[in-house]
Structure 1
Amino acid sequence: MAGAPPRIVVLTAPGEGLPQGMEALQDDADLRVAEDTASLEAALPGASVLCVTDFRTDALAEAWPAADSLEWIHATSAGVDALMIPAVRDSDIPVTNARGIFDRCIAEYVLGQIIAFCKDFAGNWQLQQAHEWRHRETEPVAGQRLLVVGSGAIGRRIARTCSAIGIECDGVGRRARGGDDDFGAIYAQADLLSLLPDYDFVVIAAPLTEATRGLFGAAEFKAMAEHARLINIGRGPIVQTDALVAALEDGAIDGAALDVFEHEPLPADHPLWDLPNVHLSAHMAGDFIGWKTALSEQFIDNFRRWQRGEALNNPVDKAQGFAASS
């Protein structure tokens, strides 16, 4: 007689229900949806797999004592900082992430923002609203110098996408290394301050770790060129928001495009909303039509690997806080 199917617990935001596409596992697993601490505590005993889609909850930390048989945790995001509670980080339970799903669309978002700044789309829109015809010159995109802070999969896709139209792209990683296929050069994060003055655009594509939290503050913005723009598609807490606002107000940098924030959603009365030359979006740079189904398909593929006892795709280095390089 066959044993009971493995239990998969899916931690979602309240009201979301089972992720689109996950129903394909209904005949192969005992699927349980949890959306708060109480429902997670009830579902975890006996569960083999935990799939987390809600990263703005403390439910995992609060319900963790109920996790008595977990063999694998999966995050439906590239960043896994919200999962790295001490109990998970110090356990031998493997963690995987959604590496590869969002790379292309995030790179398109970054390139779009660079073009929007160079061609002053915001200025065109304002003049259109005022019915004012005003001829102006704009910046060429080719030849702009871009520093990508974070040389992982997303950072590399950004470099490849932007390099294709003539943008000069360098990267920043934990340590310097040469002979790279995607970046002109990769510099060590320890050298960031000395690098910043040389670039027209600085993109944050790094994961949130103890080494990157608060990485961009007053000193970094002072080091950037006055004409430079910051683009953050990584994690909000990598940027010290008050320091960024001050830099924008004082003209230390020329602009910013922000998709992530220290506190989300961004409060309606926050000064960032009204600053000139600031482009804001609601943590959606990588979210394309069909992304939820793509995440489920990626998880299901890994679940089949887990069933067969094969190595899981996208293993996270829990000590470092991000997926290991391919």
Structure 2
Amino acid sequence: MSFTLVMLGDDRLWAARLAQAVPNLRVLCPRSEAEARVALAEADAAYGALPAALLAHARRLRWLQAPQAGPPPGFYHPALVEHPVQVTNMRDTYTDHVAAHTLALVLSLARGLPRYAREQQRGQWAPDWDPGSVLPLPEARALVVGVGAVGLEVGRLLATFGTQMVGVDARRTKPAPGFQQIVPAEQLDEQLPQADLVILTVPHTPATESMIDARRLALFKPAAFFVNVGRGPTVRLDDLVKALKAGRLRGAALDVFESEPLPAGHPLWGRDDVLLTPHVAGAGPHADERRFAILLENSRRFAAGQELINVVDKAQWF
């Protein structure tokens, strides 16, 4: 059975490979919005973002492949949620890269490297031999908020340091390697005061938007570290800045932000207790090939009438 897939966005170079690999697949690559409207009118599937104005022309559309694991805000607009189209995403394509980056952030905080990096820039020799200046990981309790692919790998890696690992997740309840326990999302407030290290890996959804705010930051241990490698809109940065200034946290490391890029002059830039990276946790080799592999696998499954992988609950955005 043949079907038509419309490629929207910057990955048109995949079109020839995809058409060659999947029999009876016709790939269209519109180069303007007008061409996209015409192509979508006959499309069974699409790759990329479909704003409401384009989706209105997709009368036959049954499958949409999102180009990211967590598409930008607005991807899951009301018209898409209500549309019968099935959406899949690119989750688990950057897991090893993001987990390694997370461990780098954790180790940097635990050993006080953000301050030493700034001392290096100032040309100052300022060793701190206070035993309390480091977080001993074998004696620490880490809370991973979001035990998906990245959270699972972070837990497995960090557990090798002897860290006690606890997970909070809205879907996963079964035990996982490295974790002492995984509890429902409803128990987040109960777990926060017990953690020396809180690591956020959750996607941006209606339930997670602004989940770390002033109220929840007040539940943290004053000596706790906070790491966010999930999505920026999950954390209210103004509240985080206030918590750091008030000594409610020992330090923080962030790879994602409410507003990206983080504005020049933002208070977080100059803090010795904060480590910032510019949304690069997923950087690493093979990412494009892994993304293509998911698109190819789902194209083959769609052509064969089989169940797709990485299916999204559109109402929950993941």
AA in 1 matched with 2:212: F
Q: Which position in structure 1 is the counterpart of 2:211?
A: 215
Q: Which position in structure 1 is the counterpart of 2:244?
A: 248
Measure the CA separation in 2 of the matches of 1:200 and 1:245.
19
Q: Which position in structure 2 is the counterpart of 1:297?
A: 293
**Residues 1:7 and 2:7 aligned together:** no
Would you say the 8 A contact 1:10–1:34 is kept in 2?
no
Measure the CA separation in 2 of the matches of 1:44 and 1:178.
41
Could you list the runs of 5+ residues in structure 2 that have no partner in the other structure? none
* Residues paired across the two proteins, number: 309
Would you say the 8 A contact 2:140–2:197 is kept in 1?
yes
With the length of structure 1 as denominator, give the TM-score of the two structures.
0.85
**Residues 1:183 and 2:183 aligned together:** no
Would you say the 8 A contact 1:44–1:67 is kept in 2?
yes
1:54-73 equivalent positions in 2, closer than 5 A:
60-73=51-64
Measure the CA separation in 1 of the matches of 2:90 and 2:171.
24
Q: Which position in structure 2 is the counterpart of 1:24?
A: 17
Measure the CA separation in 2 of the matches of 1:174 and 1:300.
29
- Shift in Å, 1:179: 4.2
1:213-269 deviation per Cα after TM superposition (whole angstroms, max 9, x unaligned)? 111110111110112121111111111121111112222112211111112222223
**Residues 1:145 and 2:138 aligned together:** no
- Shift in Å, 1:201: 1.2
Could you list the runs of 5+ residues in structure 1 that have no partner in the other structure? none
- Shift in Å, 1:107: 1.1
1:159-189 deviation per Cα after TM superposition (whole angstroms, max 9, x unaligned)? 1121122222111122784644442112222
The one of 261, 265, 269 aligned to 1:269: 265
Give the 3-state SS of the residue equivalent to 1:212 in structure 2: coil
Q: Which position in structure 1 is the counterpart of 2:308?
A: 312
Equivalent pairs: percent with the same residue?
Answer: 32
Q: Which position in structure 1 is the counterpart of 2:125?
A: 133
AA in 1 matched with 2:64: I
Measure the CA separation in 2 of the matches of 1:18 and 1:178.
37
Measure the CA separation in 2 of the matches of 1:203 and 1:19.
36
1:25-61 deviation per Cα after TM superposition (whole angstroms, max 9, x unaligned)? 24443231567x5564344221222212x6xxxx612
- Shift in Å, 1:22: 4.7
With the length of structure 2 as denominator, give the TM-score of the two structures.
0.87
With over 3 angstroms needed to count, the CA separation of the structure-2 counterparts of 1:129 and 1:281, relative to structure 1, is closer
Give the 3-state SS of the residue equivalent to 1:223 in structure 2: coil
Measure the CA separation in 1 of the matches of 2:31 and 2:113.
43
Measure the CA separation in 2 of the matches of 1:207 and 1:153.
11
- Shift in Å, 1:96: 0.9
> Superposition RMSD on alpha carbons, in Å?
2.4
With over 3 angstroms needed to count, the CA separation of the structure-2 counterparts of 1:224 and 1:253, relative to structure 1, is same
AA in 1 matched with 2:29: R
Measure the CA separation in 2 of the matches of 1:235 and 1:123.
25
